[in-house]
Structure 1
Amino acid sequence: MSTNPYTGKRLSYDGRLCTVRYQGEVQGTKGEWLGVEWDDPTRGKHAGEHQGAKYFDCLHPSPTSASFIRPTRPPDPTHSFPSALKSKYASDLPTSSPTFEDPDVQIVFTTSPKNVPTPSTRPIKFGCKVAEEVGFDKIRKQLAQLSELRVVILDGLGMARPEVRGDGWVEGRGEDDVREVCPKTVELDLSRNLFEEWREVASICEQLEKLKSLRVDGNRFRDTTLSEAEEDRCRRAFANINFLKLEENLLPWEDIARLTHLFPTLASLGASSNLYTALSSHTLNMTITDLTLEDNLIPSLSAIDSLAKLPNLQRLILKSNKISEISSSGVSMPVFSSTVAEVDLSFNELSAWSFVEALALVFPGLISLRVSHNPLYESLQAPDGRALAADDGYMLTLARLGNLKTLNHSPINPKERLNAESYYLSMIAKEVQFAPENMREQILKSHPRYAWLCEEYGEPDVQRSANAINPNSLAARLLRVRFYLAKDKSKRYEAEIPMSCTAYTVLGMVGKHLGIKPMECKLLWETGDWMPAKGRLVAFDDYEGESEDSEGEANVDRMMREVEVVPGTRSIGTWIDGSEASVRVEIDSWA
């Protein structure tokens, strides 16, 4: 066979990439076979076994990642870098003359055989409109200017550089073939090709002096080791690259970490879809500020403890893993650098508020968090037993993390934080109210921000009663509300409303009974809680000088806390706590 198969050889059949894992006989059959592991783990029929006998192991744990094929089966041809580039960006275009018709303009694409003059140079007209004539030779000429390409994508083109494997790179084989065709390349994508050694990638990059971004996803390297001299040569080759992606390579973390040290200015690294369950102690290049480990199998934050050593890390993407806890039993909680400001934990397996609260300790510099699509938010319940919506989970999350400025890609404004924190404080009060008296201290300790919230908004009044309503009863799901018009207090309306009623529904009811257009109503729940008038400087800023008793007035200046019921589909129980409430109705004439 011309391909000379060996363990670790990369091949392609009908565009499907694979790696040779075995060569030899298979019991119960005649002749030799190649045992291959497909890059697509659903492509095969087994995992390296036949009739109960194991012949080879696969990197991917899928039971359908391998096949046996005959060595005589011809593989797809292999491309060099120049041939792959030309096939992608300068291939022959069709010679037919497709026509695009538009009711207003008609553009006719035409081609002419070489050396055959066109019959006329007069413009073609359709009525009073002149057709635009574009020659394919002109387009081909533009595409063929490979030397001007800045972004080069050669994904899945069956490319390899066998001439530089082993000592070939040291001997300088093919050292100018890339520079000659696309010397101005800034971004390069070499994903899903037939590279076997890291030298092949380095031999390309060292010829591209302006290269800043490199993607090598989906290449299954059998050898990433380099001599000391080769490592020095790699550092020169990768000197200007600050963006690197090594996704779906299934490389051990040790290899990933070692490779990053070959990039002196590396800032962003992607190592997603590599089936990692834990990261070894091998550290990445300290220059990294942005790290993506999406779509792996990481179960806890302690499993990536080695990343806490990165002093410049700012952004950590852990989306679509299996994270369910901060640390496993017997392992201390990791503490990351205060430079880590953005973390993505969406699509994981978080199920407890204690995890969310601990994030403030694990990431002391955290200001941007994405935590949506976790089990925690799928079955939220209030202390009185009623179900909570996704919006409630959003509010309770930002209230638990006082430094957040962005949650689930939404900026947090001061008014939203005020509503969320007061809502959270009321939920803590409810939890204490419906729990046995001897559980009070334990409950309050489970809310690390409780003391701060009480200092900021005042301690909530927890009222207990021997005749307390069963939280699972119908009465517990009804809210008695007294509405009154702000400009005319004689206009009142009182009703029992299910807590599940949306704010829109309540606005409709109030508007109908008070004779106001619903969207002109502004509903303000008067909580009855008094707090310092934070930020109210009118008493002093309107005067040029200070009075003798201004300090005393500042100490006693207090105002009632009010919560606006914002029009929307959120339930009224989201905004109003307790079983009774007084709501002031104001008129927004501009609405």
Structure 2
Amino acid sequence: MSSRHPGERLSFSNALCTIRYAGPLPDQKGDWLGVEWDDPERGKHDGLYKGTRLFHTLSSSPNCASFTRATRVPDEPRSFLQALRYKYAEDDLDYAPVGANGSIEISGKVVEEVGFERIRQQQALLHHLKIVILDGLRVRGVGLGADVERAQEEITSICPNITELDLSRNLFERYKDVAEICAPLKELRVLKISGLRLLDFDLDGSSAFPKVEELHLDDSLLSPEQILRMLTRRNKDGSIDLLFPSLKSLSVAGNNLSTFFAPTPPSVSIVLTTVKTLVMDMNTFTSLVPLCISLIPLFPTLTTLSLQHNKISTFNSSTSTTDQPTPLYPSITTLNLSHNAITDSRVVSSLPELFPNLTSLQVSDNPFFSNLTSRTTHGIEDAAFLITVARLPTLTMLNYTSITEKDRMDGELYYLSVAEKEIQKALQNTQSTTNNDFRRSLQDWARYIELCDKYDRVHIVGRSIAAQSAHSPKDTVPADAVSAASYRPPKYPPNTLGAQLVTLTFRLQTPSKNEPPTTTDTIPHSPTPESVTLTLPRTLDVYRVKSLLLRKIGREWNLKPLEFTFEIVQDAGEQVEEIPDSTRRIGDWIPESVGDVVLKVRPRPAVSVMEDAIGSMALERLKGVVAV
């Protein structure tokens, strides 16, 4: 009968496995071992032998297990110190502990022999190690059959300065074996124990991880309950101790998790307030809201959540009865949803409700990127980037790219153009602003009206109301319908180069009979052309604008420098005010929201010009007298 037992960890030809069955096989001689390989594609079945299930596996792969004879000799396991010397020492020499003064001690006696100098040099090298990586070296425990305390004393003397330790993909069967290695490492900050297949999760005694800030439990096929058991310890009185009181970052990627509800007694509350970063990549989560509901009681102060390479396609579960998600995680500022199954960028619109303080988001490599290109000339990345920036106004970084003010404006303007097409399409299909499809379209493009107001654009809802009101009695016309119909949006949005331009239409005004003649011989009553239009920067001063007008039409209109003035005209043709000759900008008389202006060009007599000059001189002199 084989001495092997289920749960035992072995290695054959450097391929790690876990025994799931030990015993005879039907129609086969001798004892056999049914093993589950860490490599899920190395085996031939999943524990089913000739129609009979002999054992179950943790992996869901149909090819993760196989049978091997119990007499097969496995690879030799190592202790922690053996693996350390194998990896970081030149030769696999016998080591002795170092005394307080750096001397070599054997059986408690200080010795000095030829050849020990080389050992001392290698031990000095191990003594200064800070980062130790022993993954895949068949480590089974702190010692192999040796006294645990003695082995821990050796660790303290040989390598006490380790701050980062990687024990992943080894032969540990008990969580206690890992703790016994870490207990003497007083400066340990980062612990990686991924790829293990632990059988026993119980710990006793004091915590072995008081200063560990980063913990990796990836690819270990752990359940949520087992993960929490590795983070906490339940005392006899029912209280809970944290095994990692300084933990800031936790990674549980690749554990085939679909939920994170851990069954605990109602009286027991596990709260990990120190954890700020949680990595749950490469699992099987499908919906974000149920996951967050289970996480927030456990990690209430979480700021970074990574869910790359999952199967998330929705934010509410299929059984959810609410259409609008409620704020769940106000503490989260960074979210990674790359490589998921999000098919529609409009789903991202729910994120501000779930994470109101979100500032950094990664959503690359989701199906909605390719969906956007079917209706836009932008590239895949550009279109998705612009739409996502517009949907999430609190973001400062998207897909590891900082969002500039220009990115924000470009995204919001592009969002407006796409949203208007979609809303218009829904409106044309129903010809009503009260139908469900139209309202649903507005919900899908929730920021449309907000952005129309931001960029002074009349939204399609206002135009539709105005159009419908034309066929309705006056007493049924909405109050804003007339203004919506008559409103003319500017050509360019604010803060753009185009917004700094103004279109000026100049019209020559013939002087009345009572006005004295100008120095010009005649003023044509019907100048050709009757008007001229110039698009100029608002920053040009009045004198410069007059100079440009003279170059353009001065000869045809028979104008002379300083013998004409401008008057701003409203749409109704009424004069607003006269623009005096000045070095002030022409834009000072024109509101920024106005893009087209009519200016009357009124010739004035030469005597008027002289009076203005004399008046200006007198005013300056008067100012000088007052100053004295």
Out of 202, 205, 223, the position equivalent to 2:179 is 202
* C-alpha distance in 2 between matches for 1:532 and 1:281: 52
Q: Deviations over 1:330-388 (max 9, x none)?
A: 336474332211111010000123320001111111110010101111122566x8786
Secondary structure of residue in 2 paired with 1:188: strand
What residue number does 2:416 align with?
425
**AA partner of residue 455 (structure 2):** Y
> How many pairs align?
438
CA contact (8 A) 1:7 1:20 kept: yes
Does residue 308 (structure 1) correspond to residue 296 (structure 2)? The answer is yes
Q: Structure 1 residues 89 and 381 mapped into 2: Cα distance closer, same or farther (>3 Å)?
A: closer
Q: Secondary structure at the match of 1:433?
A: helix
1:239 is aligned, of 210, 227, 233, to 210
For residues 88 and 341 of structure 1, what CA distance do their matches in structure 2 show?
Answer: 40
Paired with 1:320 and 1:559, the residues of 2 have a C-alpha distance of: 50
| 1:191 paired residue among 162, 168, 174 | 168
Letter in 2 for 1:321: N
Q: Which residue of 1 aligns with 2:330?
A: 338
Residues in 2 aligned to 1:371 and 1:264: alpha-carbon distance in whole angstroms: 32
Residue 448 of structure 1, CA deviation: 1.6
Moved more, 137-146 or 350-359: 137-146
Name the SS of the counterpart of 1:175 in structure 2.
helix
Change (3 A) 1:303 1:445: closer
Show the counterpart of 1:393: 384
**What is the correspondence of 1:253-402 to structure 2 with a 5 Å cutoff?**
253-260=224-231, 261-281=242-262, 285-304=272-291, 305-309=293-297, 310-331=299-320, 333=325, 335-380=327-372, 389-402=380-393
Question: Compared with structure 1, are the counterparts of its residues 408 and 531 closer, same or farther at alpha carbon in structure 2 (3 Å cutoff)?
Answer: closer
Alpha carbons of structure 1 residues 140 and 177: separation in structure 2 relative to 1, 3 Å = closer
Quick one: distance in 2 between partners of 1:392 and 1:59? 42
* Deviations 1:480-517, CA, capped at 9 Å, x for gaps: xxxxxxxxxxxxxxxxxxxxxxxxxxxxxxxxxxxxxx
Q: Which residue of 1 aligns with 2:220?
A: 249
> Residue type of the partner of 2:407?
E
Name the larger-Rg structure.
2
The alignment partner of 1:393 has SS state of helix
Task: Give the match for residue 412 of structure 1.
Answer: 403
**1:40 maps to 2:11:** no
1:214 alignment partner, one of 170, 181, 191? 191
In structure 2, the CA distance between the partners of 1:554 and 1:189, relative to structure 1 (3 Å rule), is farther
Q: Cα distance, 1:450 vs. partner?
A: 1.8
Kindly indicate whether the alpha-carbon contact (under 8 Å) linking 1:224 and 1:255 is maintained by their aligned counterparts in 2.
yes
Q: Could you say if the C-alpha distance between residues 555 and 219 of structure 1 is closer, same or farther in structure 2, counting changes exceeding 3 Å?
A: farther
Q: 1:199 to 1:28 in 2, by over 3 A?
A: same
1:389 positional shift: 3.2
Query: Would the alpha carbon gap of residues 533 and 355 (structure 1) be closer, same or farther in structure 2, given more than 3 Å must change?
Result: closer
Counterparts of 1:360 and 1:153, CA distance in 2? 41
Supply the AA of the counterpart residue of 1:259.
Answer: M
Can you list the C-alpha shifts for 1:507-563, whole angstroms capped at 9, x where unaligned?
xxxxxxxxxxxxxxxxxxxx95365669999999xxxxxxxxxxxx899432669xx
Is contact 1:160-1:200 (8 Å) kept? Answer: yes
Alignment of 1:466-477 (within 5 A): none
Aligned residue number for residue 524 of structure 1: none
For residue 369 of structure 1, give the secondary structure of its aligned residue in structure 2. strand
Q: Is the 8 A contact 1:324 1:349 kept in 2?
A: yes
Q: Does the Cα contact within 8 Å between 1:89 and 1:144 map onto a contact in 2?
A: no
2:372–2:384 CA contact under 8 A, matched in 1: yes
User: Could you tell me which amino acid in structure 2 is paired with residue 379 of structure 1?
Assistant: N
Asked whether the equivalents of residues 161 and 200 of structure 1 are also in contact (C-alpha less than 8 Å), the reply is yes
TM-score (norm 2): 0.64
Secondary structure in 2 matching 1:434:
helix
Aligned pair in 2 of structure 1 residues 338, 269: CA closer, same or farther (>3 Å)?
Answer: same
Q: 1:189 to 1:284 in 2, by over 3 A?
A: farther
Specify whether residues 295 and 456 from structure 1 end up closer, same or farther in structure 2 by C-alpha distance, changes over 3 A only. same
Whether 2:491 is the aligned partner of 1:529: answer: yes
Q: Secondary structure at the match of 2:139?
A: coil
Shift in CA distance, 164/158, structure 1 to aligned 2, threshold 3 Å = closer
Tell me if structure 2 keeps the 8 A contact 1:89–1:143. no
1:308 Cα deviation (Å)? 2.3
Distance 2:274 2:182 in 1: 20
Partner of 2:592: 557
Q: 2 CA distance for matches of 1:142 and 1:450?
A: 68
CA distance in 1, matches of 2:337, 2:441: 26
SS in 1 for 2:23: strand
> Which of residues 445, 455, 460 in structure 1 aligns to 2:443?
445
- Cα distance in 1 for partners of 2:393, 2:335 equals 15
Once residues 128 and 33 of structure 2 are traced to their aligned partners in structure 1, the CA distance between those partners, rounded to angstroms, is: 43
- The answer to whether the 8 A contact 1:21-1:34 is kept is yes
Corresponding position: 1:160 with 2:148: no
Residue matched to 1:124: none
Matched AA of 1:271: V
Other-structure match for 1:21: 20
SS in 2 for 1:558: coil
Change in Cα spacing, 1:372 to 1:145, as seen in structure 2 (3 Å) is same
Q: Which moved more, 1:355-364 or 1:528-537?
A: 528-537
Amino acid paired to 1:414: E
Whether the 8 Å CA contact 2:442–2:448 is kept in 1: the answer is: yes
Aligned partner of 1:146 in structure 2 is 126
Q: How does 1:533-552 map to 2 (within 5 A)?
A: none
Q: Is the contact made by 2:281 and 2:307 (CA closer than 8 Å) also made in structure 1?
A: yes
Q: Tell me if the contact between 1:307 and 1:336 (Cα under 8 Å) persists in the aligned partners.
A: no
CA 1:554–1:71 in structure 2 vs 1: closer, same or farther (change >3 Å)? farther
Distance 1:387 1:414, change over 3 A: closer
Q: TM-score, normalised by structure 1?
A: 0.68
- Determine helix, strand or coil for the equivalent of 2:78: coil
Matched AA of 1:328: S
